[in-house]
Structure 1
Amino acid sequence: MNNATTYYVQTMPGVEEIAWLEIRDKLPGAKFSETVFAKDQNGLLLFSYSGDASDLFQLRAVEDVFVLAVSIDKVPRTRQVLPQLTELIGESATFQHAIDIAMPIRKQPGRPSYRAISRLYGSHDIYRKQLGEAVRRGMKERYPRWRLVDDHAMLEIWINLLGSRLVGGIRLTDRTMRHRFNKPMPLKAALRPSVAAAMIHLTQPTDDDIFLDPMCGSGTLLMERRYAGAYSQMLAGDMLYDHTQAARQNVHALRKEPPNSFGALHLDATRLPLANGSITKVATNLPFGKQISSPKALKRLYPAFFGELERVLGRNGRAVVLSSEYDLVKESVRQCSNLEILTGYSVAVLGQWGRIYILRRS
């Protein structure tokens, strides 16, 4: 790891741990560094990797990928941080190394251009705008001929001042990593692709999976399962016929070879038209919070769904479900003698905290 470069990924809040599992699996030799948080907006996961930077583009449980450019563990919460930041950008070898990594990836014709994005969390004696000005002073000193632009810059320099921790990087990815699907039939409140990818990774996909999402919505989990690798069969369903149609069209529209062994059914997740033990993997986003208006409906749905999950999952089958109804999930699983919750991860989805549960059928 002597030649390793430090990178960081930006995730939805709470997905950092799952993102590390994906990094560990897909980037051999990657070494975990730390996680830091930006309130309820994002998580940052820092790690080192000695392979090619383009390898990081295969990650899917993340929102963006950055090469680390500046890092200070304990900074004053006063104006003193501003000259420190300017000096690091203007003179440090780490910043130059980050530029050298990013330039071949983000290269555009013409004179190099950049923009600065600053984020400030916690109590400080400075404003976010002043962070951006400190970046611009350092860039002017180091690269006097580079153009400062408001948009469509070749390089984006992001500075995150999180309490007394400063982390800055140069963005390697663009908006297509976060907004990766152009769905012909989008639906409101669809699951974030990076969260769906995290859930799919937790199912531990294999080539012989018989995969099911019985509450598929617009099909985001199905689309991520398509990109996770081969499978034996992929099934989807939803109580709402329009959702089933949307999922079918969205999956077929992927920029990938047409899906094999894929079926989308109009079905009730509490009465699945599937044989006992016929499914090996399940991932689904259960209704919770504002997604459903009646608490009584939830109390009927959850026990019935988990009972069906227990029935259709084969021995050692694995299910990954998302919900904020913590007590209802646990109570429903306790009623299923062959289901157990292995672990869970708290994540923020659409401004609300929920939990991704991993279950196994004995």
Structure 2
Amino acid sequence: SLQEVAERKDITYQVDRLPNYDLVRCSFVPEDIFRLAKLRTVEDVFWLIASPQRVTVKKDLGKLDKLVCRQSLLKGLELKNRLFRPKKPKQPTFNCFIKQDCDRLVYRKEIANRLNSAVSANFPKWKNSDPAAIEIWGFYIDQKLHLGFRLSDNRMRYRAQKPVSRKAALRPTIAAALMRAASPRYGERVLDPMCGTGTILSEGIALNTGAVFIGGDSDRQAIKLAKESLSRTNVSLQQWDATQLPVNSSTIDCIVCNLP
């Protein structure tokens, strides 16, 4: 997703690997910040509160108090409100989470507890809870803590819709990555023979390439849900057996599918 932005501006970014996570760090000019909310293969966006802090022994925890000062937290809230416009909670709630690349001498729970205490000291009326409206995430990599204020919420990863509660339902971000890898061109006919609830097809339409999308599934309920979610599009949907598709192979240019 960042490639589109990087191609237009002098933007560099670095990828750090964590178990089950990829942390992409990058810098943006102010006019490009608003494009972050439209990145479709990204599940979360964070504002890095400060430069990475080295945490090797427990006495280093004292340095973290200054990072979550009142000014930093208010700036994070201002960015969150500008980019994603979250609903205002009746009572502000917060929590701190730590992800790490491996076990360290300083436990991630100790880091989280220290950060939670610092936030409480600055905002005594905020309630510590999980889930929370305000989240501080620490990415503990190579004994350095990258501290981020979470700007996004679940609306980004689920496209502001309620997650589809079906077995093996594909996350929209994964569907977007599949469709971007396929890169259908204008006028091409793209088939998803086992479309489920239509997530891949929906992400294909979002690419706005001018391709024609066709989908089907053997599950009647899945097709019903797909038709509901794609009701404002011209996607052709059918209930069928994927082993006996009523489609001439010579009429299809590209197949994108999440195999069961």
TM-score range, shorter chain: 0.7 to 0.9
Cα deviation, residue 30, structure 1: 6.6
Question: What residue is the counterpart of 2:79 in the other structure?
Answer: 101
- Distance in 2 (alpha carbons) for counterparts of 1:139 and 1:183: 31
Q: 2:199 aligns with which of 211, 214, 220?
A: 220
Given the alignment of the two structures, is residue 172 of structure 1 paired with residue 151 of structure 2, yes or no?
Answer: yes
Given the alignment of the two structures, is residue 34 of structure 1 paired with residue 33 of structure 2, yes or no?
Answer: no
Cα deviation, residue 44, structure 1: 1.1
Q: 2:225 aligns with which of 245, 250, 256?
A: 250
Question: What residue is the counterpart of 1:64 in the other structure?
Answer: 44
- Distance in 2 (alpha carbons) for counterparts of 1:69 and 1:284: 39
Instruction: Output the amino acid matched with 1:253.
Output: E
Question: What residue is the counterpart of 2:187 in the other structure?
Answer: 208
Q: 2:107 aligns with which of 124, 127, 133?
A: 127
Structure-2 change in CA distance of 1:65 and 1:152 (3 Å): same
Instruction: Output the amino acid matched with 2:66.
Output: E
Cα deviation, residue 152, structure 1: 5.7
Q: 1:84 aligns with which of 43, 57, 63?
A: 63
* TM-score with structure 1 setting the length: 0.60
Contact 1:77-1:163 at 8 Å conserved across structures: no
- Distance in 1 (alpha carbons) for counterparts of 2:32 and 2:59: 36
Cα deviation, residue 150, structure 1: 0.7
1:203-352 mapped onto 2 (5 Å cutoff): 203-229=182-208, 231-238=210-217, 241-242=218-219, 245-254=220-229, 258-269=232-243, 272-287=245-260
What percent identity do the matched residue pairs reach? 26
Structure with bigger strand share is 1
* TM-score with structure 2 setting the length: 0.80
Structure 1, unpaired ranges of 5+:
1-21, 288-362
Q: What SS does structure 1 have at the residue aligned with 2:256? A: strand
Contact 2:190-2:212 at 8 Å conserved across structures: yes
Q: What SS does structure 1 have at the residue aligned with 2:41? A: coil
Structure-2 change in CA distance of 1:157 and 1:164 (3 Å): same
Question: What residue is the counterpart of 1:149 in the other structure?
Answer: 128
State the number of aligned residues. Answer: 255
- Distance in 1 (alpha carbons) for counterparts of 2:126 and 2:10: 34
Structure-2 change in CA distance of 1:59 and 1:216 (3 Å): same
Structure 2, unpaired ranges of 5+:
none
Cα deviation, residue 79, structure 1: 0.8
- Distance in 2 (alpha carbons) for counterparts of 1:220 and 1:120: 31
Instruction: Output the amino acid matched with 2:38.
Output: Q
Relative contact order, CA 8 A, sep 6+: which one is greater?
Answer: 2
**Cα-to-partner distance string for 1:134-191 (whole Å, 9 max, x where unaligned):** 21343355x345513214644211112134232221111112333445477x531222
Contact 2:55-2:144 at 8 Å conserved across structures: no
Structure-2 change in CA distance of 1:220 and 1:107 (3 Å): closer
Cα deviation, residue 128, structure 1: 2.5
Question: What residue is the counterpart of 2:23 in the other structure?
Answer: 44
Structure-2 change in CA distance of 1:190 and 1:152 (3 Å): closer
- Distance in 1 (alpha carbons) for counterparts of 2:153 and 2:87: 13
Instruction: Output the amino acid matched with 2:224.
Output: Q
Q: What SS does structure 2 have at the residue aligned with 1:108? A: coil
**Cα-to-partner distance string for 1:311-340 (whole Å, 9 max, x where unaligned):** xxxxxxxxxxxxxxxxxxxxxxxxxxxxxx
Instruction: Output the amino acid matched with 1:87.
Output: K
- Distance in 2 (alpha carbons) for counterparts of 1:263 and 1:111: 45
Q: What SS does structure 2 have at the residue aligned with 1:258? A: coil
